[in-house]
């Protein structure tokens, strides 16, 4: 997204009809509870030597012993400063959440999610996390997702939080955005990295709940966009073969949306540098599922 020109930045209050672009800025502080940098430990006061003059050192030179200075408490320190994008609104929404995403370190994580604006769009989400003892902190980019600012959830009830989103690869793939269904995608923080853990067995109850919501509104038109997401979601439940058989029975044989396949590898923009060929929906869907890690027999 291009930067907003400086003249569009209006300080303070502004009149109706004017456009004010603002960025949300979040600063994360860490108040170090480490006893090594906190208040000094209590020690026993030594008994003074009455035969030695006050202020004199044991060497007899009369030098005053320097009193040991207690360590200065570390206090809060800045571990991250995050700046949201220009969302095109005067007061861009932002969510800040403290949640346990990685139990291997000593402290919970800070989830910061900015609203970016745009069509059915978006949140830019980040996680601020520490190493094992909290001496170093890192900001991880979770990604951009549909909807407003995103919060982490404990999807499997184990006390560790994850991100619940949907696999955007299925949107627009075989139908319009509103006509498409996408399977549940679960992202988790593991070993300092954000990973896709959607296939983990512990999330099957979450996948089952997602499927129940998915099948509430089965469309009568643009059915291929629904069937693609449906098959993928059933794969997550180990029921891919049954879903595939249902897809073969009901898919739309008239539409050609998403059926032009690139024989080579697409470039970063998604364009095919070589030849394309038209295939039937089942072949196009099978290829897409494989490219995105969905095994029909799994």
Calculate mean pLDDT across residues 233-238: 98
**Cα–Cα distance between 27 and 19 in angstroms, integer?**
26
Residue scoring higher pLDDT (218 or 259): 259
Using the 8-state DSSP alphabet, how is residue 153 labeled? B
The pLDDT, as a whole number, for residue 297 is 81
Is the predicted pLDDT of residue 162 greater than 70, yes or no?
yes
Per residue in 13-27, pLDDT (tens digit) is 434 344 445 678 899
Long-range (24+ apart) CB contacts under 8 A made by 197-200 are 197/162, 198/167, 198/236, 199/236, 199/293, 199/298
Q: Are strands 76-83 and 25-31 parallel, antiparallel or unpaired?
A: antiparallel
The pLDDT, as a whole number, for residue 41 is 45
Least confident of 65-69, 123-127, 166-170: 65-69
The pTM for the full model equals 0.77
Calculate mean pLDDT across residues 126-149: 92
Calculate the average pLDDT of the chain. 82
Residue scoring higher pLDDT (14 or 109): 109
Is 281:252 a contact under the CB 8 Å cutoff? yes
Q: How confident is the model at residue 2 (pLDDT cuts 50, 70, 90)?
A: very low
User: End-to-end distance of the chain based on CA atoms, in angstroms?
Assistant: 39
The pLDDT, as a whole number, for residue 57 is 47
Per residue in 74-101, pLDDT (tens digit) is 568 899 999 988 766 667 789 999 999 9
Q: How confident is the model at residue 298 (pLDDT cuts 50, 70, 90)?
A: low
């Amino acid at each position: 997204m291009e930067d907003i020109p400086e003249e569009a930045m209006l300080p303070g209050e502004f009149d109706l009809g004017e456009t004010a672009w603002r960025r949300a800025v979040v600063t994360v502080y860490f108040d170090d509870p480490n006893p090594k940098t906190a208040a000094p430990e209590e020690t026993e006061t030594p008994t003074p030597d009455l035969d030695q003059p006050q202020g004199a050192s044991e060497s007899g030179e009369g030098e005053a012993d320097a009193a040991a200075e207690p360590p200065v408490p570390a206090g809060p320190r800045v571990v991250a400063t995050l700046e949201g994008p220009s969302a095109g609104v005067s007061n861009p929404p932002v969510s800040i959440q403290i949640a346990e995403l990685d139990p291997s370190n000593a402290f919970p994580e800070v989830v910061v999610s900015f609203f970016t604006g745009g069509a059915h769009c978006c949140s830019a989400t980040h996680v601020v996390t520490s190493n094992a003892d909290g001496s170093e902190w890192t900001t991880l980019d979770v990604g951009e997702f549909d909807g407003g600012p995103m919060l982490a959830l404990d999807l499997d009830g184990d006390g560790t939080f994850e991100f619940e989103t949907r696999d955007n690869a299925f949107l627009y793939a075989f139908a319009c955005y509103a006509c498409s269904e996408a399977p549940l995608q679960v992202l988790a923080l593991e070993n300092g990295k954000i990973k896709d853990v959607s296939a983990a067995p512990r999330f099957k109850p979450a996948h089952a709940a997602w499927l129940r919501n998915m099948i509430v509104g089965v469309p009568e038109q643009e059915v291929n966009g629904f069937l693609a997401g449906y098959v993928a979601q059933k794969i997550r439940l180990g029921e891919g073969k049954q879903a595939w058989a249902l897809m073969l029975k009901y898919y739309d044989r008239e539409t050609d949306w998403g059926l032009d396949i690139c024989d080579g590898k697409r470039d970063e923009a998604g364009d095919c540098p070589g030849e394309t060929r038209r295939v039937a929906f089942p072949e196009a869907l099978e290829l897409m599922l494989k490219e995105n890690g969905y095994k029909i027999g799994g």
